[in-house]
Structure 1
Amino acid sequence: MKIIGIAASLHAGSFINRLLEAAGGELPEGVDFAVWQGLGEIPPYAAGPVPASARELAGLVAAGDAVLMTAPEHSLLPAELTYALDWMSAHDGLSGKHVAVMSASARACGAMWAQAELYKQLQGAGAVVMGAELVISPTRRHFGEDGRLTDSDLRDQVRAVIGQLCPAEVMEPALSL
Structure 2
Amino acid sequence: MGEIKILGIVGSLRKNSYNRFALKAAHELLPEGAMLGLVELHGIPIYDQSTELTPPPAVVEFRRRIRSADAILFATPEYNYSVPGCLKNAIDWASRPYGESAWAGKPAAVMGVSIGSLGTARAQYHLRQILVALNMPTVNQPEVMIGNAERRFTEDGKLTDEPTRKQIQKLLLALTALVKSGRAD
**Does residue 162 in structure 1 map to residue 172 in structure 2?**
yes
Task: Tell me the equivalent position of 1:175.
Answer: none
Counterpart of 1:7 (choices 5, 10, 17) is 10
Retained in 1: the 8 A contact 2:7–2:37? yes
Which one has a larger percent strand, Structure 1 or Structure 2?
1
Cα deviation digits, residues 84-114 of structure 1 (max 9, x gap):
1112212321111011000233534451111
Counterpart of 2:64 (choices 59, 65, 68) is 59
Q: CA deviation at 1:5?
A: 0.6
Alignment of 1:10-159 (within 5 A): 10-37=13-40, 39-43=41-45, 44-46=47-49, 47-74=52-79, 75-90=81-96, 91-109=100-118, 111-130=120-139, 132-137=143-148, 140-143=151-154, 147-159=157-169
Q: What residue identity is the alignment partner of 1:140?
A: R
Q: How much is the aligned-residue C-alpha RMSD, in angstroms?
A: 2.3
Q: CA deviation at 1:24?
A: 0.9
Closer/same/farther in 2, CA of residues 138 and 99 from structure 1, 3 Å limit: closer
Which whole-Å CA distance do the structure 1 matches of 2:159 and 2:35 have between them? 18
Cα deviation digits, residues 32-85 of structure 1 (max 9, x gap):
211012x12112142331221111111111111101111114423222211211
Closer/same/farther in 2, CA of residues 120 and 16 from structure 1, 3 Å limit: same
Closer/same/farther in 2, CA of residues 135 and 82 from structure 1, 3 Å limit: closer
Instruction: Please say which of residues 135-144 and 151-160 is displaced more in the overlay.
Output: 135-144
Retained in 2: the 8 A contact 1:149–1:155? yes
Give the percent of matched residue pairs that are identical in Structure 1 and Structure 2: 30
Cα deviation digits, residues 90-145 of structure 1 (max 9, x gap):
23211110110002335344511111111112221121122524243456343486
TM-score after normalising by structure 2: 0.79
Runs of 4+ in 1 over 4 A off after TM superposition: none
Unaligned runs of 5+ in 1: 171-177
Q: CA deviation at 1:151?
A: 1.1
Q: What residue identity is the alignment partner of 2:62?
A: L
SS at match of 2:73: strand
